[in-house]
Amino acid sequence: MKKYLSIISIASIFLLSTPCMANDAPLIGISKITAHPALDALEQGVQDGLKLSFPNAKFDLQNANGEISTASSIAQKFKAEKVAIAVGIATPTAQALVNTIKDSPVIYCAVTDPVEAGLIASTTTGEKNITGISDMTPVKEQIEFLARIKEIKTLGHIYSSSEANAVSLAAIARQVCKDKGIKFVEATVTNSSEVKQAAQTIAGRVDGIYLSNDNTVFSALGAVTSVAKKHKIPIMSADPSSAQTHEILVAWGFDYYKMGVATGKLVARVLKGEKPENIPTIFMTDPTDVDLLINLDQAKFLGLTFPDDIIKKANTIIKDGQVIHN
């Protein structure tokens, strides 16, 4: 009997000490900084990607609504729940998770520069419990793309000074403009309520507006497009998802649903036993990971024309108010 009880005790200890990732219904915490089409697509993609390997996975979906303090509270909640893996969508939520959760894996996604954000020391390797996917966007190529459609002497840029990713991308855009002899006019915001005023501040001084990966700005994208429309300013955006429902001339960037699916597959790899420290940062480099959206209605309104080669390359075209997927 004593031997039987010992076996039961050992088995109980093993079961209690084995995280919920060991079964086929792990609890995954997903924290996103705010709700907008790109991040919503990411969130859905993570779930769909993970369910390919773990169809019974459970999810705790949380939205910080743009508040850093809320992101920290969500991280504490995930820690208390002992989620199998915590997923941080965008830099601020990923930072909150990494700062709070030390004894279970944290996966970041849609983090432009994870090193600059303080999540990891190098993109060539993971950390003890941290790895993820970057959405570093091709800033130089995007600005050059806009300049093909309209001559740009002065480029406007609105970004959040509180998002590390946005600050990094603004520095790149500033340097690109300097190299190309384009005047760079920037306006910073700290929350979405300031976006419209920022757009109004630069509207009378720029030939075009460039929007990079910036959750604060994209959560108030309508404010930018309304000002740009009034002043007939073309917008180049890094987010094709949002551009389907806003008056953006051209959007060239990642398919965030695909990035979410890739993140879900990464979560599955860790659940199956792969160590995060052995997984370098994943960059979405396949041509199929990137979408090009052009808005022919907006081009007509602005008196601009897309070259034929751009029209042929476009994954999505907006014409006569209809969204056409090529």
pLDDT tens track for 142-170? 999 999 999 999 999 999 998 888 999 99
Is residue 209 domain-shared with residue 115, that is, in the same domain?
no
* Residues 299, 283 share a domain: no
Query: Looking at residue 36, what is its pLDDT?
Result: 87
Together in a domain, 125 and 147: no
Give the pLDDT of residue 106.
Answer: 98
Side-chain half-sphere exposure of 240, counting CA atoms within 13 A: 23
Q: Are 89 and 43 in contact (CB under 8 A)?
A: yes
Pairing of strands 27-32, 58-63: parallel
Res 12 pLDDT > 70: no
Residue 276, pLDDT score: 96
| pLDDT-based confidence at residue 326 (cuts at 50, 70, 90) | confident
58 & 91 share domain: yes
- Give the model confidence (pLDDT) of 63-95 as tens digits: 999 899 999 999 999 999 999 999 999 999 999
Say yes or no: 168 and 239 in one domain: yes
CA dihedral 137, 254, 217, 267 (to 10 degrees): -100
Partners of residue 237 on adjacent β-strands: 211, 251
Q: How many domains does the chain have?
A: 2
Do 89 and 147 sit in the same domain of this protein?
no
Predicted confidence at residue 23, as pLDDT, reads 61
In which domain, by residue range, is 73 found?
Answer: 2-135+256-287
Note whether 35 and 95 are same-domain residues.
yes
pLDDT at site 6: 44
High-pLDDT (> 90) share of the chain, %: 80
Mean pLDDT of 240-259: 93
Whether residue 164 is found in the same domain as residue 123: no
In this structure, the number of other CB atoms found within 10 A of the CB of residue 2 comes to: 6
C-alpha pair distances (Å), 31 with each of 80, 89, 168, 277: 15, 6, 22, 21
> Minimum mean pLDDT among 100-104, 142-146, 165-169, 206-210: which range?
165-169
Rounded Cα distance between 163 and 191, Å, is 10
Do 47 and 74 fall within a single domain?
Answer: yes
Examine the domain organization and report whether 217 and 245 are in the same domain.
yes
**What are the tens digits of pLDDT across the range 282-298?**
998 787 888 999 999 99
DSSP code, position 118: T
Q: What pLDDT digit, counting tens, does each position of 26-55 carry?
A: 999 999 999 988 899 999 999 999 999 999
- Average pLDDT over the chain, rounded to an integer: 91
Let me know whether 44 and 118 are in one domain. yes
Residue type, 256: Y
Q: Tell me, what CATH number does 129's domain have? A: 3.40.50.2300
Please report, as a single letter, which amino acid is at residue 42: L
Note the helical H segments in 2-127.
2-17, 37-51, 68-81, 91-100
Beta bridge partners of 107: 87, 131
190-to-15, 97, 231, 323 alpha-carbon distances in Å: 46, 21, 24, 32
- Mean pLDDT for the stretch of residues 194-213: 96
Residue 71 in contact with residue 92, Cβ under 8 Å? yes
Given pLDDT bands bounded at 50, 70 and 90, which one contains residue 215? confident
Count CA atoms within 13 Å of residue 163 on its CB side: 30
Domain co-membership, 303 together with 275: no
**CA separation for the pair 1, 292 (Å, rounded):** 69
Residue 123: band (very low, low, confident or very high) from pLDDT cuts 50, 70, 90: very high
